[in-house]
Every structure is written in structure tokens, then in C-alpha cells.
Chains A and B, each alone.
Chain A
């Protein structure tokens, strides 16, 4: 059970990720996308989900029981190779339904101090 005090708190990312053309190319190729001038719309998940995972694991949730419930992306500026981004994570909500813990995590990718992509992941930790 997640500590309710964690809900609403933003945990700033401590490391930066430099986005490479190679990683955009590989991600795009796996989806059959040939234009790799900018990253595909769902590319941010490669950065945000890992951050959300470490945040939730350190909060005591068992990642081996997780199911992805829903996902949302808001892209203010498409990611391109050379972007250096930091990922801030916020647990926006947590509730228990039929023994399953349902957690929504927002992750903001910041380029310098500007938010370029926000993602919301709803994760279901099965009882």
C-alpha cells in the first residue's frame, strides 16, 4: 500500500538524459515509422516509465504485479536528437479497488526549465 503522503508530491529527476538519433531511429523502426526527424509521439515513455518505476518501487510497490491501465501524452514540443531532458515525477492519485492498487503518475520532461512533454500513466498493481 502506497503511503498516502506521497500523493501530490513532485519528485524532481536527479539525472539528465541526452536523446540520441540512434534511440529515436530504433524506436521509430520498431513501429514501422521511417521519418525520424522528430521522435514518435510515444517515444517519451522510454524515459518516463523507468522514472515512474523507480519512484513507485522505492515507495514499496511490487513492479512484477503491474499492469498498464491507461496512458496519455501531451507534447508541447516534439523531442529531437540532442535534447537533454530531466524527468520530474508526481504521483497524482492512488486508490485501492478490489484489492488492486491503482496509481496515476505524471511525468514531465523538462528541457532546461521548459516542459516539453507530459505523460500520465495509470498503473494497476494487482493484488
Chain B
């Protein structure tokens, strides 16, 4: 029975998923304008994500991206892997390091993933998100339906 299932999965779009497989990374560009867009879209207008003066006044080295913006981009990457957002069942992350976004600068966020579990109808992914070589999300995982 299980073998029969595998035959069907084998011809589906998700046939390429295997434990340990590393999927193609995506690079997202983050800059101040994008933080303003995210602030407006999400309603999170905390000034540490927009004002350098304010960010420095609370001890940050510069404006930082919303943790949820970084996680949102990771979510978009997972949606693309899954086929669409409706297949994303779980998403979790720890915000380990801030993504610092200086003025007039494009900061690159590189998101990659490794398949850590494959079930008949779902797969679990471990996500890595780095900025200038530093991991900015910890324990980042997703569960997608196949």
C-alpha cells in the first residue's frame, strides 16, 4: 500500500522532496522603502523600523527591519516552495539577530531551506535566513502540505 502511494507521489509536482534535500535559495532585497511599505501594510509603525534618530536613541546601531518582515519574506519563500500560501500549515522562527538597514542601502537577505521530514501528505522544512553571513532567524521551521 505504501509503495503504491509512493508511485503516485512520484509523478506529482512534489516528487522531488526528499529528507536532507536542500532547495534553491532566494535572495530578497531589503531597504528603507520596503520597511515603510511593510509598516503600512502590517500596521506596525514602531519608529525603530523607520527613524534612525529614534533607533539610535534606544541603543540600536541603526534602523532595523521588523522581525515579522524578515519572517514574512521567509514565509513567502516557503509559499513558493509549497506551490502557494494555502499549503503552508505551520511557520515558526526565533529572531536571533536584527537585520540592520542603513539609509540608501540595499541589504540582501538570503533564505534557504532543507527538507527535514517527508510524510505522505506533508513535509517539514528547516529554514535558514542570513544577512551579511549572519543568521538572523533561529529554529526556523515550516510544515507544508503536499
Contacts of A46 in B (CB 8 A): 41-43
Contacts known (A29-B41, A46-B42, A68-B95); A75 close to B79, Cβ less than 8 A: no
Say which one of A31-39, A91-99, A107-115 lies at the interface with B: A31-39
- Interface contact B41-A75, CB-CB below 8 Å: no
Q: Is the interface of B mostly helix, strand, loop or mixed?
A: helix
Q: A26-B41, A71-B93 are in contact. Are A37 and B86 (CB under 8 A)?
A: yes
A42 touches B68 (CB 8 A): yes
Residues of B within 8 A of A69 (CB): 94-95
Report the count of interface residues on A (CB-CB < 8 A): 30
Q: Is the CB of B37 within 8 A of A73?
A: no
Number of interface residues of B (CB under 8 A): 32
Which residues on A sit within 8 Å (CB–CB) of B86?
37-38, 78
Tell me, in angstroms, the Cα distance from A80 to B95 when the chains sit together. Answer: 27
Q: Which residue of A lies closest to B35 (CB)?
A: A30
Given known contacts A26-B40, A35-B84, A41-B88, is B139 in contact with A70 (CB within 8 Å)?
yes
**A residues lining the B interface (CB < 8 Å):** 23, 26-27, 29-33, 35, 37-42, 45-46, 49-50, 67-75, 78, 120
